[in-house]
């Protein structure tokens, strides 16, 4: 599996389908949070055999890093797309009759809105993962205040 820095180097803000695919791959930790908790945090009958606090702490760190990394990728692409839209609008002021330029502006604005919508998706995924995490780990681990 590719590391986070490899994904960041590969990320292309120009191809939304590829951008979504990378985010989907990076979200596997959130998709598997229930499985991770079930396999690492034992039921009461096996509680003495496992250091649940350590496992919860490790999982919290993994989740937090994944959330921060994905948020950074999304915001980076928003910044890049916003700059592209701004540059195109400036060119449009210099070339008001350029129809192709207006079409390109609309295309970039559309892409920007799609990337911005990923922030909402990310918020839902993060909230869901942290809710599940809290339900299973609250007796063993208390996350530091954010």
Task: List, for residues 60-71, the tens digit of each pLDDT value.
Answer: 999 999 999 999
Flag whether 33 is in a domain.
yes
- Tell me the mean pLDDT in the region 123-140: 92
Give the SS3 label for residue 70. Answer: helix
Q: Give domain status of residue 42, yes or no.
A: yes
* 97 part of a folded domain: yes
Classify residue 145: in a domain, yes or no. Answer: no
What per-residue string of b and e applies to 19-44 under the rule 16 or more CB within 10 Å gives b?
A: beebbeebbebbeebeebbeebbeee
Q: Is residue 144 part of a domain?
A: no
**Is the pLDDT at 6 greater than 50, yes or no?**
no
What is the domain extent for residue 38? 13-137
In a domain, 3, yes or no: no
* Residue 110 within a domain: yes
Q: What is the pLDDT of residue 1?
A: 41
Q: Kindly state the average pLDDT of the residues 27-55.
A: 79
Number of domains in the chain: 1
In a domain, 7, yes or no: no
pLDDT at 138 over 80: yes
Dist CA 81 CA 70 (whole Å): 17
- Per the prediction, the chain carries an average pLDDT of 88
């Amino acid at each position: 599996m590719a590391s986070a820095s490899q994904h960041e180097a590969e990320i292309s803000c120009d191809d939304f389908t590829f951008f979504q695919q990378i985010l989907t791959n990076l979200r596997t930790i959130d998709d598997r949070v229930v499985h991770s908790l079930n396999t690492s945090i034992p039921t009461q009958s096996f509680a003495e055999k496992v250091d649940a606090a350590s496992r919860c702490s490790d999982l919290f760190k993994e989740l937090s890093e994944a959330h921060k990394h994905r948020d950074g990728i999304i915001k980076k692409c928003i910044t890049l797309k916003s700059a592209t839209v701004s540059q195109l609008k400036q060119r449009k002021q210099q070339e008001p009759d350029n129809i192709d330029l207006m079409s390109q502006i609309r295309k970039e604005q559309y892409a920007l809105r799609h990337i911005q919508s990923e922030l909402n998706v990310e918020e839902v995924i993060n909230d869901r993962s942290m809710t599940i995490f809290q339900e299973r780990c609250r007796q063993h681990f208390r996350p530091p205040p954010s």
